[in-house]
Structure 1
Amino acid sequence: MPSYRIRTATPDHLDAARAVMLDTVYRDFGTGYVPRWHADIIDLAGAYLASPRHTLLVALDESDPVSPVAAVAALDSRGPVHPPNPPWMAERYPNGETAQLRRVYTRPGHRRRGLARSLVRELVDFAAADGGYRSVYLHTDPAVPGAEAFWRSMGKAVCDERAEMADGGQGIVHFEVPLS
């Protein structure tokens, strides 16, 4: 039975964290690596370790010495950008005041064990401790199995592009998670 420990990623965790992320974008999203969407995955240190207001967490399976990173989750201080997001979304969640959750991914063999929920709680605590964030934001692709239901259990949908935009937008759902 795996025993998990959540911790802030160090440079030693970056290759394994990147592997979890790339596996997810290829397997679960079906898009593969797209530089304009996934550039942070390549430069994890620059995106999440260089700024004290950003972080990357890993859930380590301490019983697996070969592939111990079971899940990842990140946070940065960049709000949603317009375009492609609706202009009001960029205004509501401005850079610097918004803690954006990113890359909350769990390896398939470790799912349904509460890892993503624990990682998100740790990220929200990190944002609250920062003192400069006034909201926690994320967006998800509802085509990814389980993603929409998970995020609805963690926060409030503030825009479902499928229903609220005349052309369906990008088909994503935007959420706000309580900052507490």
Structure 2
Amino acid sequence: MHDITIRQAAAEDLDGARVVMLDAVYRDFGTGYVPGWHTDIIDPSSFYVVPPRHTLLVAVDERDGTVAATAALDARGPAHPPNPRWLAERFPSGETAQLRRVYVRPEYRRRGLARRLVEGLLDFARADGGYRSVYLHTYPHSPGAMGLWRTLGKVVCDEREDVPGGGSGVVHFEIPFA
């Protein structure tokens, strides 16, 4: 395996991180870029690099500088709507570290990068001292996502089963980090 370095994203990493994220929303999710959902992908610096309680981590292949994977954290809890009200109340903004944009390029999958990135995000959340919970949501069809998240946390709401009409089909997780 190539030498992969996990680090906070620097200015020179943002274009590569953006490519990883956009590839995921087009290839893995099939949605393409949706402005209401993906503004942070276009401007990751404003969302994850500049705010002090937020971060963007990248996994960089030291052989050629390729950004192989991304993972972000911010202090925004899940919004209602579109999420169930009780979920937004359980994971309030400011107290919730929300994991976002944990994406790995296909050729780098199955090497533990996502897990290493998440460990880095959890370390960041612990060091902040102000977060009381860690939350994320995923789509069940996202390659490898359900297996990873089930090993790291617990399902708190599976919209396919828990929301009348199936909601948006999203599965919500809480990750222990104390």
Give the TM-score range, shorter chain.
Answer: over 0.9
Match of 2:95 in 1: 97
Rounded Cα–Cα distance in structure 1 between residues aligned with 2:16 and 2:54: 19
- What SS class does the counterpart of residue 151 from structure 1 fall into? helix
Rounded Cα–Cα distance in structure 1 between residues aligned with 2:122 and 2:143: 23
Q: Does 1:117 align with 2:85?
A: no
Match of 1:134 in 2: 132
Match of 1:88 in 2: 86
Deviation string, structure 1 residues 97-143 (Cα, Å, up to 9, x no partner):
00000000000000000000000011011001100000000000002
Rounded Cα–Cα distance in structure 2 between residues aligned with 1:179 and 1:146: 21
Return the TM-score normalized by structure 2.
0.98
Residue identity in the other structure for 1:176: E
Q: Runs of 5+ in structure 1 lacking a partner? A: none
Comparing 30-39 with 139-148, greater Cα deviation is found at 139-148
Return the TM-score normalized by structure 1.
0.97
Deviation string, structure 1 residues 126-172 (Cα, Å, up to 9, x no partner):
00110000000000000223211211111010000111112111111
Match of 1:45 in 2: 45
Match of 1:158 in 2: 156
Q: Runs of 5+ in structure 2 lacking a partner? A: none
Identical residues among aligned pairs (%):
67
Rounded Cα–Cα distance in structure 2 between residues aligned with 1:13 and 1:3: 17
Question: 1:50: Cα distance to partner?
Answer: 1.1
- What SS class does the counterpart of residue 167 from structure 1 fall into? helix
RMSD, matched Cα: 0.8
- What SS class does the counterpart of residue 145 from structure 1 fall into? coil
Paired residues in the alignment total: 178
Residue identity in the other structure for 1:114: G
Rounded Cα–Cα distance in structure 2 between residues aligned with 1:5 and 1:147: 22
- What SS class does the counterpart of residue 6 from structure 1 fall into? strand
Rounded Cα–Cα distance in structure 2 between residues aligned with 1:111 and 1:145: 9
Match of 1:6 in 2: 6
Rounded Cα–Cα distance in structure 2 between residues aligned with 1:84 and 1:166: 13
Match of 1:23 in 2: 23
Question: 1:63: Cα distance to partner?
Answer: 1.2
